[in-house]
Amino acid sequence: MTRPAAGPDADSLIDRAEDAFVAFRGGDDRGMEVLVDLLTPILWHAARGRGANRATAEEVVQTAWLALIDHVEDVRDPRAVLAWLLTTVRRDSSRRVRRDQRAVPSEPAVHGARQQVADDPQPDVAVVHGDRQQRLWGHVQELPERCRYLLRVVAFAERPDYSSIADALGMPIGSIGPTRGRCLEKLRRSLDTDPAWEGYST
């Protein structure tokens, strides 16, 4: 993979992560600190979006970073470091969520989604700031689960990163169509039919 030429997208999250990881491998410990600051937010949302509760999400994220140090040599392409971490977080979150669900004595009515809600209450209306966010939240919840997940995670990256992030989340662009062609487009269509949605300018 090569970098896009200088331009508005030249410094994507993947580019910055690559630089920091290369510095770290070159012996600069500060590189790892930069990498942690850059990527921990997106990893947090990748774990939470898989249904991990807050404590589990913290553990999953921390474990992924520790695993990266043990596997530094396995990540041959430094551009792949975000994808490697995302894949690790996604798999570990899913595994732990399944395990926790098995561990909970199951009430027949409580299935995956409900369980997640019980563990992870819907955001308080007061927490969702303003009408605009509340309205957007309403439309997001109408989306299929995989779209909600994909959009939640890619929102924490930059545009040129989306296809590799989709890949790492187990939703390669080829299988779901271009991101925009499906998930984002769905959300836009849904917002466009909402007379109370005031457009996209913030």
Partner 1 sequence: MNDHLDDTDAVLLADLRGLHASIDPMPAALPDRVKLALTVQRLHAELAELTRAPALATRDEPVRADAITFAATSLSLMVTISGTDGRRVLDGWVTVPGARVEVHDDHGTSTTTTDDDGRFTVHDVVEGDVWFVVHPPPDSGLRAVVTPSVHL
Q: Which residues bind partner 1 (CB under 8 A)?
A: 29-30, 32-33, 36-37, 40-41, 44-45, 48, 54, 58, 61-62, 65-66, 69, 123, 127-129, 132-133, 136-137, 140, 151-152, 154-156, 159-160, 162-163, 173, 178-180, 184, 187-188, 191, 200-202
Q: How far is CA 116 from the centre of its chain?
A: 17
- CA end-to-end span of the chain, whole Å? 34
Q: Give the number of C-alpha atoms closer than 13 A to the C-alpha of residue 75, restricted to the C-beta side.
A: 24
Based on the number of CB atoms within 10 Å of its own CB, is 50 exposed (0-12), middle (13-18) or buried (19 or more)?
buried
Residue 18 tokens, joined: 């690559």
Q: Shortest distance, CB of residue 53 to partner 1, whole angstroms?
A: 11
Q: Shortest distance, CB of residue 188 to partner 1, whole angstroms?
A: 7
Q: How far is CA 145 from the centre of its chain?
A: 13
Q: Shortest distance, CB of residue 112 to partner 1, whole angstroms?
A: 18
* 84 closest CA partner among 114, 132, 42, 126: 42
Under 8 Å between Cβ of 190 and 165: no
| Nearer of residues 22 and 184 to partner 1, judged by Cβ | 184
Under 8 Å between Cβ of 31 and 23: yes
| Nearer of residues 4 and 106 to partner 1, judged by Cβ | 4
| CA–CA distance, 58 with 80 (Å, rounded to integer) | 22
| Nearer of residues 110 and 173 to partner 1, judged by Cβ | 173
Q: Shortest distance, CB of residue 98 to partner 1, whole angstroms?
A: 21
| Nearer of residues 80 and 154 to partner 1, judged by Cβ | 154
Q: Shortest distance, CB of residue 25 to partner 1, whole angstroms?
A: 13
| Nearer of residues 8 and 105 to partner 1, judged by Cβ | 8
